[in-house]
C-alpha cells in the first residue's frame, strides 16, 4: 500500500510539472485516436454488413436457378429469422405497339427486409427525379411498379396498363429506388416490380425459363452467421448463399479506401503521440531524480522504488487510457455525425472491442515508451543528495527503446491493416529518425564551423553561446530536432492531406465521370451511337469491343474448375470472360508485373490480366491461357498483370489483348459516357432506334460512392485533428524537454554578468538552428510521405508543394525560437539573485 | 559484552580517479562515535567532509576499509541493505533542505516514516511539525515556506522517525545568521530530547563548538580540534 500511496502522491504532485501533463495529454491523444477510429470503423463495418443487406434486400440471400427447397425457409422460421422470397426473370413487356425487355422481380409481402423502396405516383416518369416517397408495401395484386426508363421506353404513365405475359396489369407507380438493385450490373434490364401472387396468371414461367429464386433472410449478425453456417453445407447444384461480400464491390472499395485513410490518420496520430510521450518522459525522469535519490537516502529499497514507478506508470496508463477512451468515444460520435447519412440507415451502435483495444494500446504504449526510461530511476544513487552531478540520466541504452519500437510496429501494422503500408510507414519513421540525426549532426557541425571561421556578427557572444548549446547537448539536440520534425511533419502532412490528397481522391471520381453504360452495341451500330454522342454534346466517350470467351485450358492442360475450393472462384473460372483489345493501358489501371505491349506487337497472342483474377485462379506471368470463343480456341500468353481501380466507375476488363488479336471473333461493343441531367430523352431516342441496346444507369450508385468520398474525407480530416494535437504535443514536449537545463544555464550566465539580451539571443540562436533543421527534415519527410500516399495508395500524380515547404521553413525558423523564448521568458525577467533561489 | 558503538570506522580509504591521476580523499581514516555523542567534522572546502558523511551514511562505498553502524559492517551489505540501515537508524539534514517540492510539509515529513512502514506516519509527522513550530504550515508546499521554515521541516523529517544517528550536512549553510542560529538551537534541543547521535559536517566553527567533539579533516585524515575528556581519536 505504501508504494501505491507514494505513487499516487507523486503523480498528483507531478501534475503540476508540465512534463507529466504533456505525457498524459500525449497518451490521451494516442488512445483517443485509436479508439475513435476503432469505434468508427467498427460501426462502419457493422453498417457495411447492413449496407450489404440493403444492397441484397436482406442480410443474407439464398438463391437458386430453381425453386428453392422448403428446408431453407423452414430453418429460417425455426431460428425466428425474418424472411421473404422473390423470383426474378427477364421478359418482354408490351404496351400497344411498343415492347421492351425488362427484368421482372416478383416479390412477396415483407420485401425488402432491409432498406426501403422509393416510388412516385407522378404520372410522367420524366418528372419523378425529385418527387418520391417511401413505399411501405409491395405492388398490390394486379399492379406493377416500373423504373422510369422502362416507362419512357414503353411511353407509359402511372395509371396506364401494360402487358406482362398473359396479364394486363396497371402501372401503379414509378419505381425510383430499389435498394436491392445491385450485384451483377451487366445483366440488368429495366426493372418491373410485381406481386408474386400474380406470377402464375402471367404464365411467364415455363419449363426452361431463366428464373432466379431468392430467399431473403434478416436478423442480427450472430443469427445470420449461424444460419449461413447451416445453409452452406446444404447447398445443392445451382444454389448459393450471398452476403455482403458479394454486394457491390465499388462501394466496398471506396469504403475500404476511406478506412485505410482513417487508419493512416490514426497511425500518424499514434506515432506522434508516442514521440511526444518519449520526449515528455525525459524531463519527467529528470525532475524525479532528486525524489528517488531522497527515497533511497531514507531507506527505500530498489524493489520499493520499482513498485512505486510501476504503480505510477500504471496509474498514468489507466488515467490516460480511460480519458482517451471516453474522448475517443465522444469523437467517434463526431465522426459518425460527419459521415452523416453515409448509409441508408443510421450507423449501428459501436461494440466494446475498440474500447478494450484502446485500453490495451494505452497500457502497451505507456509501458513500452515510458517505463524503460522511468525504470532507470531505480538506479539513481542516494549519494546524489550530496552530489547533484551524480545520476543524470541523459543517455539511454538502445535496448531501452526496443519495447517502444515493438509496440509502435504493432500499432502501425494494426492501424494500417496492410503489411506493405505498415512496413513503409515504419521504414519512413526510421528513415526520418536517421535523417534527423544525420542532418542535425551535420548541420550543427556546419554552423559551428561557420561560427569559428566567421568574425564580427557571427562571432559575437550570443551566437557562439547559442551554437555551443547545440554541441553541448548533442543527444538532446537530436531528440529535439526529431521531436520538432515530427510535429512539423504532422502539420505539413495535414495541410497536404487537406489540400491535395483528399481532393485528388475525390477527383478520382470527377463530376463528369461516366454514369451510363451501353452494352450489346453491334459493330454496325457504333456510328449511330457516336452520332447520339455528338447530338447530346457528350465528348468524353469510350467504346470497347467485347468478345465473350470461356477459359478452357491453362498451360495447355484442360482447366479443372473442381480444384478451386472456393465456390466464388469456381464460378469465376466457369463463367464467360469479356475479353477486349486495347492499345493503351487505361489510366485507372496500374501495371504490377510484366510489360505493356508495343505497337509492333499488335496482333500477337498476348494477354494482360487483372491481378485479382490472376491471384484467385492461380495464374502467373508467362502462363498460357486458352479461351473457347464461339467454338474457336485462342491461346494467349499472360504478359502483364494489372491493378484496376474499380471505383472509378469506368469500363474495365479482367482480360485484355493487344489490338488485332480479337478482330476475327464476333464482338459486341460496350461504351460508357456521362449523361448530363435532363438529357434522358435523347438516350431514350437512341434506345428506340436500337432496341437491342441495354443501358445501365449507374448515376445513383456513383452518387453513393461520391457521397462516401465526400463524407469520409471530412472524417479523415477530423481524425487528422488528433494528429494535429499530437503534433503540437510533440512540439511542446520538445520545448519542455530541456527547459529546466536551459533555465539553469541562463541563470548562470546572468549571474556571471551576461546581459538579458545576450541570453535571449543565445536561446533564439540555438532554437533557430533547431527549428531550421527540423523544418528541413519535416519538409523532406512529409513530401516523401505525401508522394507515397499519392502515387502508391491513391494512384494520383504528385506535385511538390513549394509554397508549403517555404512556409514550413519560415514558420519553424521563426516560431520555434519564439516558443522557446516564451518558455524561459519568465525566468529571464528575474534578477540573478531571484534566479539562483529558484533553481 | 561490549555495547556496540554508534559508528566505528576502520582504515577507511576513498580514492577517485581524475583524468590520469588517482586522487586520495580519505586515507586510512579511523573514527569511533558512541551513542548519544555529538560530533562535528570541520574542514576546508574540498577536504572531503561530505565524502566522509556519504560513506558514514552508506550513501557511498569506500575504496577500502570498514564502516560499522551499531556494530554492523555496512560495507558487507548491498545497496538495498545499506538503504535499509539508513531507513532504520539514520536521519538526515542537508544544507539545501532537500524537500520534495511536489509534497506538502506534512507529506515531506511523512515520507521516511512511510518508507519505514510506520502506520502512524501522519500523526507522528504532524507532531514533529508542531514540535518545530510549523503546526500551522502542514499543507504548505516548500515554495510557500521561507528558507528557515524549510529547514525546520527538514529537521522535523529527520527526527520524526527517532533515528539513532543523525547526519547533518552544513545545516545552516543556506540560511542567514539569525535564522541559522535558531535552527542550531532547534537541532540541538531536539537532539537532546531524542538522544540521537549527531554527526555534523560544517565549516562553521561556532556551530561545531556546540558539539561535544570537533574533528578536523585535513589531508584525508581526522585531527582533533576540540575534545572533551572522555572522547579520544587515533
- Give per-residue pLDDT as tens, A520-552: 788 888 888 888 888 877 777 778 898 888 889
Q: Which of A3, A11, A300 should one mutate to test binding to chain B, selecting the residue with the greatest count of B CBs within 10 A? A: A300
**What is the model's pLDDT at position B106?**
93
**What is the model's pLDDT at position A211?**
85
Mean pLDDT in residue range A388-410: 72
Chain B residues with CB under 8 Å of a chain A CB are 50, 53-54, 57, 59-60, 79-80, 83-88, 90, 92, 94, 98, 100, 102-103, 107, 111-112, 114-117, 169
Q: How far apart are the first and last CA of chain A?
A: 33
Whether pLDDT at A193 is above 90: yes
A797 to chain B, minimum CA–CA distance in Å? 55
Q: Which of A20, A283, A298, A391 should one mutate to test binding to chain B, selecting the residue with the greatest count of B CBs within 10 A? A: A298
Closest-CA residue in chain A for B83? Answer: A299
**By percentage, how much of chain A surpasses pLDDT 90?**
13
Whether pLDDT at B230 is above 60: no
Chain A partners within 8 Å of B54 (Cβ): 383, 386-387
Chain B partners within 8 Å of A387 (Cβ): 50, 54
A818 to chain B, minimum CA–CA distance in Å? 29
- Give per-residue pLDDT as tens, A73-101: 999 999 999 999 999 888 888 888 787 87
- Give per-residue pLDDT as tens, A442-484: 877 777 677 666 544 445 566 676 777 676 667 777 777 877 7
Whether pLDDT at A735 is above 70: yes
* B114 with A16: Cβ contact below 8 A: no
A24 to chain B, minimum CA–CA distance in Å? 18
Please count the other Cβ atoms lying within 10 Å of the Cβ belonging to residue A165: 20
Chain B partners within 8 Å of A294 (Cβ): 98, 100, 111
**What is the model's pLDDT at position A830?**
63
Residue B135 corresponds to which cell in the numbers above?
A: 503546526
A452 to chain B, minimum CA–CA distance in Å? 28
Residue A164 corresponds to which cell in the numbers above?
A: 406482362
CA angle at residue A254 from A250 to A256, to 5 degrees? Answer: 110
What does the alpha-carbon distance between residue B232 and residue B33 come to, in Å, rounded to a whole number? 10
**What is the model's pLDDT at position B234?**
34
Helix axes A249-297, A18-56, angle to 10 degrees: 160
**What is the model's pLDDT at position A506?**
63
Closest-CA residue in chain A for B86? Answer: A299
**What is the model's pLDDT at position A832?**
59
CA atoms within 13 A on the CB side of A305: 28
User: Is the CB of A297 inside 8 Å of chain B's CB atoms?
Assistant: yes
Q: Is the pLDDT higher at A325 or at A564?
A: A325
**What is the model's pLDDT at position A247?**
53
How would you classify residue B36: left for phi > 0, otherwise alpha for psi between -120 and 50, otherwise beta? left
- Among A173-177, A226-230, A487-491, A760-764, name the one with the lowest average pLDDT: A487-491
**By percentage, how much of chain B surpasses pLDDT 90?**
22
Q: Would you place residue A183 in the very low, low, confident or very high pLDDT band (cuts 50, 70, 90)?
A: very low
* A13 with B50: Cβ contact below 8 A: no
- Give per-residue pLDDT as tens, A698-734: 776 666 666 666 666 677 777 667 777 777 777 777 7
Q: Which member of B60, B100, B114 has the closest CB to residue A294?
A: B100
User: Is the CB of A389 inside 8 Å of chain B's CB atoms?
Assistant: no
User: Is the CB of A300 inside 8 Å of chain B's CB atoms?
Assistant: yes
Whether pLDDT at A230 is above 70: yes
- Give per-residue pLDDT as tens, A402-444: 888 888 888 888 877 778 777 877 887 788 788 877 877 787 7
Whether pLDDT at A259 is above 80: no
What does the alpha-carbon distance between residue A480 and residue A817 come to, in Å, rounded to a whole number? 12
Q: Which of A16, A284, A299 should one mutate to test binding to chain B, selecting the residue with the greatest count of B CBs within 10 A? A: A299
Closest-CA residue in chain B for A10? Answer: B102
Q: Which member of B102, B107, B169 has the closest CB to residue A386?
A: B169
Name A415's Cβ contacts closer than 8 Å, sequence gap at least 6: A34, A37, A263, A264, A266, A267, A270, A422
Closest-CA residue in chain A for B163? Answer: A298
Q: Which member of B54, B83, B111 has the closest CB to residue A301?
A: B83
Mean pLDDT in residue range A107-124: 82
* B50 with A387: Cβ contact below 8 A: yes
* A2 with B117: Cβ contact below 8 A: yes
**What is the model's pLDDT at position B233?**
41
* B84 with A386: Cβ contact below 8 A: no
A750 to chain B, minimum CA–CA distance in Å? 21
**What is the model's pLDDT at position A698?**
72
* A294 with B83: Cβ contact below 8 A: no
* A300 with B85: Cβ contact below 8 A: no
Q: Using a CB cutoff of 8 Å and minimum separation of 24, what contacts does B107-111 make?
A: B107/A9, B108/B142, B108/B153, B108/B154, B108/B157, B109/B153, B109/B156, B109/B157, B109/B160, B111/A6, B111/A294, B111/A295, B111/A298, B111/B157
Which has the closest alpha carbon to A675: A798, A513, A824, A506? A513
**What is the model's pLDDT at position A186?**
40
* SS3 call for A293: helix
Report the mean per-residue pLDDT for chain A.
78
**What is the model's pLDDT at position A797?**
67
Whether pLDDT at A257 is above 90: no
Phi, psi of A788 (to 5 degrees): -60, -45
Q: What pTM, to 2 d.p., does this model score?
A: 0.66
- Among A156-160, A397-401, A816-820, name the one with the lowest average pLDDT: A397-401
Q: Would you place residue A833 in the very low, low, confident or very high pLDDT band (cuts 50, 70, 90)?
A: low
**What is the model's pLDDT at position A181?**
59
* A295 with B111: Cβ contact below 8 A: yes
Mean pLDDT in residue range A212-223: 86
* SS3 call for A217: strand
**What is the model's pLDDT at position A622?**
93
- How many CB pairs (< 8 A) connect A and B? 77
Chain B partners within 8 Å of A9 (Cβ): 103, 107
**What is the model's pLDDT at position B105?**
92
- Give per-residue pLDDT as tens, A494-516: 677 666 656 666 666 677 777 78
- Give per-residue pLDDT as tens, B93-147: 888 888 887 788 998 999 888 888 888 889 999 999 999 889 899 999 888 898 8
Report the mean per-residue pLDDT for chain B.
85
Chain A partners within 8 Å of B115 (Cβ): 2, 295, 298-300, 304
**What is the model's pLDDT at position A509?**
67
Q: Which member of A9, A17, A382 has the closest CB to residue B83?
A: A382
Task: Name the DSSP class of B79.
Answer: H
* B114 with A387: Cβ contact below 8 A: no
Q: Would you place residue B20 in the very low, low, confident or very high pLDDT band (cuts 50, 70, 90)?
A: confident
Chain B partners within 8 Å of A386 (Cβ): 50, 53-54, 59, 94, 169
Q: Would you place residue A53 in the very low, low, confident or very high pLDDT band (cuts 50, 70, 90)?
A: low
User: Is the CB of A20 inside 8 Å of chain B's CB atoms?
Assistant: no
Q: Is the pLDDT higher at B224 or at A293?
A: A293
Chain A partners within 8 Å of B100 (Cβ): 13, 290-291, 294
B15, with CB counted inside 10 A (0-12, 13-18, 19+), is: middle
Whether pLDDT at A187 is above 50: no
Chain A partners within 8 Å of B80 (Cβ): 301-303
Whether pLDDT at A605 is above 90: yes
What does the alpha-carbon distance between residue B208 and residue B199 come to, in Å, rounded to a whole number? 10
* A519, β-bridge pairs: A694
Q: Would you place residue B167 in the very low, low, confident or very high pLDDT band (cuts 50, 70, 90)?
A: very high
Q: Is the pLDDT higher at A184 or at A120?
A: A120
CA angle at residue B137 from B135 to B141, to 5 degrees? Answer: 145
- Among A9-23, A247-261, A350-364, A744-758, name the one with the lowest average pLDDT: A247-261
* A303 with B98: Cβ contact below 8 A: no
Measured over the CA atoms of residue A195, residue A196, residue A201 and residue A205, the dihedral's sign is: positive
Whether pLDDT at A57 is above 90: no
Q: Which member of A290, A299, A382 has the closest CB to residue B84?
A: A299
Closest-CA residue in chain A for B112? Answer: A298
Q: Using a CB cutoff of 8 Å and minimum separation of 24, what contacts does A202-207 make?
A: A202/A164, A202/A165, A202/A166, A202/A167, A203/A165, A203/A166, A204/A89, A204/A91, A204/A104, A204/A164, A204/A165, A204/A166, A205/A87, A205/A89
What's the complex ipTM? 0.84
Q: Which of A382, A384, A838, A839 should one mutate to test binding to chain B, selecting the residue with the greatest count of B CBs within 10 A? A: A382
* B92 with A298: Cβ contact below 8 A: yes
Whether pLDDT at A318 is above 80: yes
* A297 with B102: Cβ contact below 8 A: no
Whether pLDDT at B227 is above 50: no
* B80 with A303: Cβ contact below 8 A: yes
What does the alpha-carbon distance between residue A763 and residue A823 come to, in Å, rounded to a whole number? 10
* A632, β-bridge pairs: A629
User: Is the CB of A295 inside 8 Å of chain B's CB atoms?
Assistant: yes
Q: Is the pLDDT higher at A95 or at A573?
A: A95
Q: Which of A383, A740, A839 should one mutate to test binding to chain B, selecting the residue with the greatest count of B CBs within 10 A? A: A383
User: Is the CB of A291 inside 8 Å of chain B's CB atoms?
Assistant: yes
The string of DSSP letters for A24-48 reads HHHHHHHHHHHHHHHHHHHHHHHHH
* A386 with B94: Cβ contact below 8 A: yes
Whether pLDDT at A198 is above 90: yes
**What is the model's pLDDT at position A463?**
67
Amino acid at each position: 500500500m505504501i508504494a501505491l500511496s507514494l505513487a499516487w502522491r507523486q503523480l498528483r504532485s507531478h501534475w503540476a510539472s508540465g512534463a507529466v501533463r504533456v505525457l498524459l495529454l500525449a497518451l490521451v491523444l494516442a488512445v483517443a485516436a485509436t479508439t475513435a477510429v476503432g469505434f468508427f470503423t467498427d460501426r462502419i463495418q457493422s453498417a457495411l454488413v447492413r449496407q450489404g443487406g440493403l444492397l441484397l434486400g436482406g442480410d443474407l440471400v439464398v438463391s437458386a436457378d430453381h425453386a428453392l427447397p422448403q428446408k431453407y425457409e423452414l430453418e429460417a422460421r425455426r431460428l425466428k429469422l425474418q424472411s421473404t422470397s422473390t423470383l426474378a426473370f427477364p421478359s418482354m413487356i408490351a404496351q400497344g405497339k411498343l415492347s421492351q425487355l425488362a427484368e421482372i422481380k416478383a416479390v412477396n409481402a415483407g420485401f425488402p427486409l432491409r432498406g426501403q423502396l422509393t416510388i412516385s405516383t407522378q404520372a410522367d416518369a420524366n418528372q419523378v427525379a425529385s418527387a418520391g416517397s417511401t413505399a411501405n408495401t409491395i405492388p398490390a395484386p394486379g399492379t406493377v411498379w416500373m423504373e422510369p426508363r422502362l416507362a419512357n421506353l414503353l411511353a407509359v404513365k402511372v395509371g396506364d396498363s401494360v402487358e406482362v405475359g398473359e396479364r394486363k396489369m396497371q402501372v401503379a407507380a414509378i419505381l425510383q429506388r430499389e435498394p436491392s438493385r445491385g450485384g451483377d450490373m451487366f445483366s440488368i434490364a429495366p426493372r418491373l416490380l410485381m406481386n408474386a401472387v400474380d406470377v402464375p396468371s402471367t404464365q411467364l414461367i415455363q419449363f426452361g425459363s431463366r428464373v432466379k429464386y431468392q430467399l431473403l433472410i434478416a436478423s442480427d449478425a450472430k443469427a445470420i452467421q449461424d444460419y449461413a453456417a447451416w445453409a452452406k453445407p446444404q447447398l445443392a447444384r445451382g444454389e448459393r448463399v450471398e452476403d455482403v461480400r458479394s454486394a457491390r464491390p465499388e462501394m466496398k472499395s471506396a469504403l475500404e479506401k476511406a478506412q485505410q485513410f482513417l487508419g493512416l490518420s490514426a497511425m500518424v496520430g499514434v506515432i506522434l503521440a508516442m514521440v511526444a510521450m518519449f520526449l515528455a518522459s525525459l524531463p519527467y525522469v529528470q525532475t524525479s531524480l532528486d525524489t528517488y535519490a531522497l527515497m533511497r537516502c531514507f531507506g527505500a529499497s530498489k524493489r520499493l522504488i520499482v513498485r512505486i514507478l510501476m504503480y505510477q506508470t500504471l496509474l498514468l496508463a489507466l488515467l490516460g487510457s480511460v480519458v482517451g477512451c471516453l474522448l475517443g468515444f465522444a469523437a467517434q460520435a463526431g465522426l459518425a455525425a460527419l459521415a452523416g447519412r453515409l448509409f441508408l440507415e443510421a450507423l449501428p451502435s459501436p461494440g466494446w472491442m475498440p474500447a478494450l483495444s484502446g485500453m490495451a494500446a494505452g497500457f502497451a504504449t505507456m509501458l513500452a515508451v515510458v517505463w524503460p526510461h522511468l525504470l532507470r530511476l531505480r538506479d539513481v544513487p542516494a549519494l546524489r543528495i550530496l552530489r547533484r552531478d551524480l545520476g543524470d540520466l541523459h543517455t539511454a541504452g538502445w535496448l531501452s527503446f526496443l519495447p517502444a519500437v515493438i509496440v509502435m510496429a504493432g500499432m502501425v501494422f494494426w492501424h494500417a491493416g496492410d503489411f506493405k503500408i505498415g512496413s513503409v510507414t515504419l521504414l519512413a519513421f526510421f528513415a526520418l529518425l536517421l535523417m534527423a540525426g544525420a542532418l542535425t549532426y551535420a548541420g550543427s557541425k556546419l554552423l559551428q564551423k561557420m561560427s569559428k571561421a566567421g568574425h564580427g556578427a557571427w562571432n559575437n557572444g550570443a551566437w557562439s553561446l547559442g551554437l555551443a548549446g547545440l554541441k553541448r547537448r548533442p543527444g538532446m539536440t537530436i531528440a529535439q530536432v526529431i521531436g520538432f520534425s515530427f510535429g512539423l511533419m504532422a502539420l505539413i502532412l495535414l495541410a497536404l492531406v487537406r489540400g491535395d490528397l483528399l481532393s485528388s481522391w475525390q477527383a478520382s471520381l470527377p463530376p463528369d465521370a461516366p454514369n451510363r453504360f451501353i452494352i450489346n452495341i453491334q459493330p454496325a451500330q457504333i456510328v449511330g451511337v457516336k452520332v447520339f454522342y455528338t447530338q447530346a454534346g457528350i465528348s468524353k466517350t469510350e467504346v470497347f469491343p467485347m468478345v465473350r470467351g470461356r477459359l478452357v485450358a491453362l498451360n495447355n492442360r484442360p482447366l479443372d474448375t473442381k480444384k478451386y475450393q472456393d465456390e466464388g472462384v469456381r464460378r469465376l473460372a466457369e463463367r464467360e470472360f469479356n475479353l477486349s483489345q486495347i492499345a493503351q493501358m487505361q489510366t485507372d489501371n496500374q501495371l504490377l508485373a510484366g510489360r505493356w505491349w508495343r505497337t509492333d506487337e499488335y496482333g500477337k497472342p498476348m494477354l494482360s490480366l487483372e491481378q485479382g483474377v490472376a491471384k484467385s485462379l492461380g495464374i502467373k506471368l508467362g502462363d498460357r491461357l486458352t479461351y473457347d470463343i464461339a467454338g474457336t480456341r485462342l491461346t494467349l500468353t499472360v504478359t502483364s498483370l494489372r491493378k484496376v481501380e474499380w471505383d472509378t466507375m469506368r469500363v474495365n476488363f479482367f482480360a485484355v489483348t493487344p489490338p488485332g488479336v480479337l478482330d476475327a471473333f464476333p464482338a459486341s461493343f460496350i461504351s460508357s459516357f456521362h449523361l448530363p441531367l435532363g438529357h434522358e430523352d435523347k438516350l431514350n431516342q437512341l434506345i428506340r432506334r436500337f432496341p437491342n441496346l441495354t443501358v445501365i444507369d449507374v448515376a445513383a450508385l456513383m452518387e453513393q460512392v461520391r457521397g462516401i468520398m465526400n463524407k469520409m474525407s471530412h472524417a479523415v480530416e477530423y481524425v487528422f485533428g488528433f494528429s494535429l494535437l499530437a503534433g503540437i504535443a510533440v512540439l511542446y514536449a520538445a520545448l519542455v524537454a530541456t527547459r529546466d537545463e536551459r533555465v539553469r544555464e541562463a541563470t548562470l550566465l546572468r549571474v556571471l554578468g551576461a546581459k538579458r539580451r545576450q541570453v535571449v539571443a543565445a536561446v533564439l540562436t540555438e532554437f533557430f538552428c533547431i527549428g531550421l533543421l527540423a523544418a528541413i527534415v519535416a519538409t523532406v519527410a512529409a513530401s516523401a510521405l505525401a508522394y507515397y500516399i499519392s502515387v502508391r495508395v491513391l494512384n494520383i500524380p504528385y506535385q511538390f508543394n513549394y509554397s508549403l515547404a517555404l512556409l514550413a521553413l519560415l514558420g519553424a525558423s521563426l516560431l520555434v525560437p519564439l516558443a522557446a523564448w516564451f518558455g524561459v521568458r519568465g525566468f529571464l525577467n528575474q534578477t540573478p539573485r531571484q534566479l539562483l533561489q529558484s533553481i | 559484552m561490549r555495547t556496540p558503538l554508534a559508528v566505528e570506522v576502520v582504515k577507511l580509504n576513498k580514492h577517485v580517479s581524475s583524468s590520469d591521476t588517482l586522487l586520495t580523499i580519505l586515507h586510512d581514516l579511523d573514527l569511533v562515535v558512541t551513542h548519544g555523542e555529538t560530533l562535528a567534522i570541520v574542514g576546508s572546502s574540498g577536504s572531503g567532509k561530505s565524502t566522509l558523511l556519504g560513506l558514514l551514511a552508506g550513501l557511498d562505498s569506500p575504496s577500502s576499509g570498514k564502516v560499522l553502524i551499531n556494530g554492523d559492517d555496512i560495507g558487507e551489505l548491498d545497496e538495498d541493505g545499506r538503504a535499509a540501515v539508513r531507513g532504520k537508524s539514520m536521519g538526515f539534514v542537508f544544507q539545501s533542505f532537500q524537500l520534495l517540492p511536489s509534497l506538502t510539509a506534512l507529506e515531506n515529513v511523512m515520507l521516511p516514516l512511510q518508507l519505514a512502514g510506520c502506520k502512524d506516519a501522519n500523526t507522528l509527522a504532524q507532531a514533529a511539525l508542531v514540535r518545530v513550530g510549523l503546526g500551522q504550515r502542514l499543507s504548505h508546499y516548500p515554495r510557500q515556506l521561507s528558507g528557515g521554515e524549510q529547514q525546520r521541516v527538514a529537521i522535523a523529517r529527520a527526527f520524526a522517525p527517532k533515528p539513532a544517528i543523525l547526519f547533518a550536512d552544513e545545516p545552516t549553510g543556506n540560511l542567514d545568521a539569525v535564522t541559522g542560529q535558531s535552527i542550531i538551537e532547534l537541532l540541538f534541543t531536539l537532539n537532546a530530547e531524542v538522544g540521537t547521535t549527531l554527526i555534523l559536517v560544517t565549516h562553521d566553527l561556532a556551530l561545531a563548538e556546540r558539539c561535544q567533539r570537533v574533528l578536523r579533516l585535513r589531508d584525508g585524515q581526522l585531527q582533533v580540534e576540540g575534545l572533551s575528556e572522555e572522547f579520544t581519536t587515533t
